[in-house]
Amino acid sequence: MKISAAVRSAMKAETAISRHSFGAKPLKILMNRRCIAVCTSGNIVLACLRTAAVFGVDACPVHVEVDVSYGFPNFVMVGLPDASVRESRDRVRSAIRNSGFEFPPHRITVNLAPAGVRKAGASFDLPIALGILAASGVVERRHIADVVLLGELSLDGSIHPVRGTLPIAAGARRDGACGILLPAANACEAAIVSGLDVLPVSSLADAVRVLNDPSTVQAPPAPPPPIRRTGALDLADVRGQLLARRALEIAAAGGHNLLLVGPPGSGKTMMARRLAAILPPLTFDDALEVTAVHSVAGLLPAGAGLLVDRPFRAPHHTISNAALAGGGSQPRPGEVSLAHHGVLFLDEMLEFGRHVLEVLRQPLEEGCVVVARAARTVVFPARFMLVGAMNPCPCGFAGDPMRACRCTPPQVERYRSRLSGPMRDRLDLTVEVPALPPDALAGHGGGEPSASVGLRVVAARARQQDRYAGDSIRTNSELTPRLTATHCAIDAAGMRLLDTAIRRMALSARGFDRVRKVARTIADLAADDRIRAEHVAEALQFRVQ
């Protein structure tokens, strides 16, 4: 390809421009289809803005540096951007033009610092676009220094909501930012963080107007009233099943894991779905953690504020390891983290893959999930109650007085072996849920309502919080071996009963500790400071497998 003399001359001029000092007025190159024209213009400009990236449930500050210099029109992005960030070049270009601004026909370099951390997601669109406009003189840069910017741009310049607003807002306040400019749909979420000015915008033109004239910003809308479970799922709907209802109460009072075993239609799923209704309400700190996890996962509805209800998650048995525990190339929270401070219900537990169930071992013991990748290791919170439901045999009718079981003993053994011994050992309570006779189902009187059971659960939890005020735990299920020995002292009669049970039931060391924790919860429900023999006996009946 031959290069004309005019083009050669322009290229030499560009080389001279790159060596020119910043204090002088360098030349500006304009290119069209026929030739390259050279003219004078202002100084080369660099803009620096603040945004953030989310890793796990934590925010990492990111500085967006935009350099608009004279040269052949080009848009270069550095700083380990992934595909979604690199694609922002086309979104930003169209959004700037369709918003009525001029896209500079120069060489644009965008650096996302720190350069050693991979950036992902479309939340960098807005700071990149504003950086280009700031470098072009449309935005006064002094108004951007103390404001964190985030938002996804549409081609017409409108701004879409983004994930992870709550942890980004908390990180902005921690890092000393005075405000956060973000999509209007995320304003209520960011307003949860006190001491931070929330600047909601709906378009790129709005963002430029707010930055140039902060007095025009509109106050963020008030968060919508929380949706309560009043009149929804109530234990009063459950007929009979007194033992299973008692197990639900004990599990809720101490945060224990529970396994319901019974034939189809006996009410296992019905009772499990009502467990969250008898749990105590979330504290503000717990609600912040739950909201942050759902924000990072992108599950908060538009305009939602603080989540005040305990989560209840019931994944399908075809779920994968990564979807249950969290993971991916850019790690996202899984179902165990979405159930943080709530209930994870595995219906038809033995239909889940055995390798999937084994993933639950670490979060059940440690209350968190560690996802390690080559570039970064993230930690997701996962302090949840596990509730499983299973049939007693493959056909489901073993022990049913009305329907005959067609399974052979080897089939039953193979079916039950899908739940490994270590996993079963981590289930504090196992309860049989028999099928009810027709006369019990046709009765008019319901069971005790959730409100009454919930009062006892709240009282038991209050006793535990007072007892563990100086420790880093809040429920009996979180007791460490050292704290178990300190707070789970058993009287002489109870110890004799427990020693006998250890020999006859072949309890493991973990099973021994979990019996003591459950007995501690039963004593708390009875408002008794000491664990007695009757509390140990009730705890042992839920270890029969």
Give the domain ranges of the chain: 5-40, 45-216, 235-478
Look at residue 17 in the predicted model and tell me its pLDDT. 37
- How high is the pLDDT of residue 455? 93
Which percentage of the chain shows pLDDT scores above 90?
Answer: 48
pLDDT at 533 over 50: yes
d(CA 269, CA 435): 13
**Common-topology check for domains 45-216 and 235-478:** no
CATH fold for the domain made of 45-216:
Ribosomal Protein S5; domain 2 (3.30.230)
Where is 513: in which H helix or E strand? helix 509-525
Residue 54's beta-bridge partner residues? Answer: 59
| pLDDT classification of 359: cutoffs 50, 70, 90 | very high
End-to-end CA distance of the chain: 82
pLDDT score, position 444: 60
Report residue 71's pLDDT band, with 50, 70 and 90 as the boundaries. confident
Instruction: Please state the rounded mean pLDDT for residues 257-269.
Output: 91
Please indicate whether residue 335 or residue 436 has the higher confidence score (pLDDT).
335
Helix (H, G, I), strand (E, B) or coil at 494: helix
User: By percentage, how much of the chain surpasses pLDDT 70?
Assistant: 87
Mean pLDDT to the nearest integer, 274-293: 91
**DSSP sequence for 37-84:** EEEE----EEEEEEEEEEETTEEEEEEEEEEEESSS-EEEEESSB-HH
Residue 25's pLDDT band, with cuts at 50, 70 and 90, is: very low
Q: What is the pLDDT of residue 504?
A: 86
The span from the CA of 306 to the CA of 456, in Å, is: 26
Q: Which of 75, 217, 61, 214 is nearest to 135 (CA)?
A: 75
In single-letter form, the type of residue at position 500 comes to T
Is residue 142's pLDDT more than 70? no
pLDDT mean over 99-103: 93
- Identify the pLDDT of residue 213: 84
As a whole number of angstroms, the distance between CA 300 and CA 89 comes to: 28
Mean pLDDT of 195-223: 83
CATH class belonging to 235-478: alpha beta
pLDDT at residue 328 in the model: 78
The yes-or-no verdict on residue 13 having pLDDT over 50 is no
Distance CA 149, CA 170 (A): 13
360-385 pLDDT tens trace: 998 999 999 988 876 678 899 999 99
Confidence at residue 237, expressed as pLDDT on a 0 to 100 scale: 84
- Helix-strand-coil split of the chain, %, nearest 5: 40, 20, 40
Under the banding of pLDDT at 50, 70 and 90, the label for residue 75 is very high
pLDDT score recorded for residue 143: 59
Residue 226 — very low, low, confident or very high, per pLDDT cuts 50/70/90?
low
The pLDDT value given to residue 35: 30
Residue type, 510: R
Reported in sequence order, the residue ranges of 184-313 that DSSP labels E, i.e. its strands, are 197-201, 258-261, 312-313
Residue 403's pLDDT is: 84
Of residues 399 and 463, which shows the higher confidence score?
463
Summarize pLDDT for 154-204 with one digit per residue, the tens: 999 999 999 999 999 999 999 889 899 999 989 988 988 888 889 999 999
